[in-house]
């Protein structure tokens, strides 16, 4: 980025364009809140950890769905691949050091993403939707069948996860280590995704989402970009699955199920997809509501969730963040007018 010569001021629009990747002050808010949560609610850190993992998973989906515009119903395949990598390596005593296990989880999930992406992403629309769904169902069935290695329907529990850096223990009753560990992983992944999204690569993804034909015409390698994006997203989803397995010390078939894939889709759309913080807003709104409502009134919760989805699909297509933006724009417009 070349800076303008001294004495020359950029046009406001140009300044906004060259500076839009820079961090803004308000972007610190979620992280301050997350740290504040650690001190304010020491009793609810288990819930907090689950929340952070969900944000990370939703963030990975945002990359494919929000930026590249690939509609998938099978994103839990990668979450499960990561979780089972960590779980199986630890349970069978092969490898259980937390950080390197996470890297392995990311590599395995990325391999699954690359392998399926290369073939699946040649299709579009309903076929793509069906293929992602079938791939996930295939993995779930495979995990169910290979119960000698995966524990089948019961999954693998009490995974032996050694202390982080050999010092900080993963205590299931007081998940302080888990919370800070997942928060750190989320932060690193977020910085990665944010950088990616504002890079020329990220812009080319947006271009493919908005007008695939035109991106072909300007010579962008569309299939390669999509596969790369899918693979990176799979790796991040694998990391989310991996930390989930480490934090809970177990894996089960639920990590690969349609339930998880549909939930993360709902969360992302609730928050607003194609915007980095949609995953945060959606996960907090969904998890807090489900934490308090789903346990007491599971059926009413499902009914409410259904109504919410219908309303979002019909009226509020850009989620909570989109609504907020719209209101902000109207407020500003009236202020300028008066």
Partner 1 sequence: MIWGVDLASMLLGGLAAGMVLFIVSVGLSITMGLMGFVNLAHGGFAMLGGYTIVLAMRRGDVGFLPALALGFVAIAALSAVCERLLYSRLYRAPELHQVLFTIGLVFIMIASVTLWIGPESQPLPLPSLLQGQIDLGIIRYRTYSVVLIVIGIAIVVGLWLGFERTRLGAQIRAAVDNRRMAESLGINIDRLFTGTFAFGSGMAALGGGLGAEFLGLDPQYALKYLVYFLIVVAVGGLGRVTGVFYAALLIGVLDFVLKKYVPQGGTLFIYALTILLLLWRPQGLFGGRAT
Query: Where does this chain bind partner 1 (CB under 8 A)?
Result: 65, 71, 73, 119-120, 122-123, 125-127, 129-131, 133-135, 137-138, 141-142, 145, 258, 262, 265-266, 269, 273, 299-300, 302-303, 305-310, 312-314, 317
Helix ranges (H only) for 249-318 are 258-271, 278-289, 295-296, 298-314
CB of 130 to partner 1, least distance (A): 5
Least distance between partner 1 and beta carbon 207 (Å): 16
- CB of residue 293 vs partner 1: minimum separation in angstroms? 12
Nearer to partner 1, 128 or 287 (CB): 128
User: Which is closer to partner 1, CB of 6 or CB of 125?
Assistant: 125
Smallest distance from partner 1 to CB 66, Å = 10
Task: Select 70 or 164, whichever has its Cβ closest to partner 1.
Answer: 70
Torsion over CA of 312, 317, 323 and 325, rounded to 10 degrees?
A: 160
- Give backbone dihedrals phi and psi of 174, rounded to 5 degrees, phi first: -120, 80
CA-based max dimension of the chain: 71
Shortest Å distance, C-beta 306 to partner 1: 3
Q: Residue 88 and residue 76: Cα distance in Å, rounded?
A: 17
Tell me the closest approach of the beta carbon of residue 276 to partner 1, in angstroms. 18
Which one, of 260, 282, 285, 304, lies nearest residue 82 by Cα? 260
Residue-level length of the chain = 338
Nearer to partner 1 (CB atom), residue 14 or residue 142: 142
Rounded distance between C-alpha atoms, residue 203 and residue 250, angstroms: 38
Identify whether the C-beta of residue 152 lies closer than 8 Å to the C-beta of residue 144.
Answer: yes
* Min CB(131)–partner 1 separation in Å: 6
61 versus 89: smaller Cβ distance to partner 1 = 61
Whichever of 265 and 287 has its CB closer to partner 1, that residue is 265
Distance linking the first and last C-alpha atoms of the chain: 39
Question: Whose Cβ is closer to partner 1: residue 230's or residue 273's?
Answer: 273
* 291's tokens: 């934490």
Task: Say which residues have a Cβ less than 8 Å from residue 272's Cβ, sequence separation at least 6.
Answer: 278, 281, 282, 318, 319, 320, 321, 322
């Amino acid at each position: 980025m070349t800076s303008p010569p001294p004495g020359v001021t950029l046009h406001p629009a140009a300044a906004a364009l060259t500076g839009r990747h820079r961090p803004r002050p308000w972007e610190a808010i979620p992280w301050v809140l997350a740290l504040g949560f650690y001190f304010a609610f020491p009793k609810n850190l288990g819930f907090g950890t689950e929340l952070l993992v969900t944000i990370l998973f939703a963030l990975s989906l945002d990359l494919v769905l929000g930026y590249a515009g690939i509609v998938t119903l099978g994103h839990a395949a990668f979450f499960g691949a990561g979780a089972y990598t960590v779980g199986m390596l630890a349970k069978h005593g092969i490898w259980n050091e937390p950080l390197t296990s996470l890297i392995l989880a990311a590599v395995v999930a990325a391999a699954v993403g690359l392998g399926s992406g290369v073939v699946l992403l040649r299709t579009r629309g309903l076929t793509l939707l069906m293929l992602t769904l079938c791939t996930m169902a295939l993995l779930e069935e495979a995990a169910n069948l290979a119960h000698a290695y995966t524990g089948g329907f019961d999954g693998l529990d009490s995974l032996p996860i050694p202390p982080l850096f050999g010092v900080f223990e993963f205590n299931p009753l007081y998940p302080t280590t888990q919370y800070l560990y997942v928060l750190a992983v989320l932060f690193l992944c977020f910085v990665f995704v944010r950088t990616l999204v504002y890079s020329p690569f990220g812009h080319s993804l947006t271009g493919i989402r908005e007008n695939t034909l035109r991106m072909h015409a300007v010579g962008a390698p569309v299939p390669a970009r999509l596969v790369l994006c899918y693979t990176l997203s799979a790796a991040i989803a694998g990391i989310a699955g991996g930390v989930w397995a480490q934090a809970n010390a177990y894996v089960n078939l639920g990590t690969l199920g349609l339930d998880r894939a549909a939930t993360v889709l709902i969360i992302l759309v609730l928050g607003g997809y194609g915007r980095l913080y949609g995953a945060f807003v959606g996960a907090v709104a969904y998890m807090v509501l489900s934490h308090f409502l789903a346990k007491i009134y599971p059926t009413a919760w499902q009914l409410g969730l259904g109504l919410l989805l219908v309303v979002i699909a019909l009226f509020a297509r850009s989620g909570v963040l989109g609504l907020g933006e719209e209101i902000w724009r109207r407020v500003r417009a009236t202020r300028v007018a008066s």
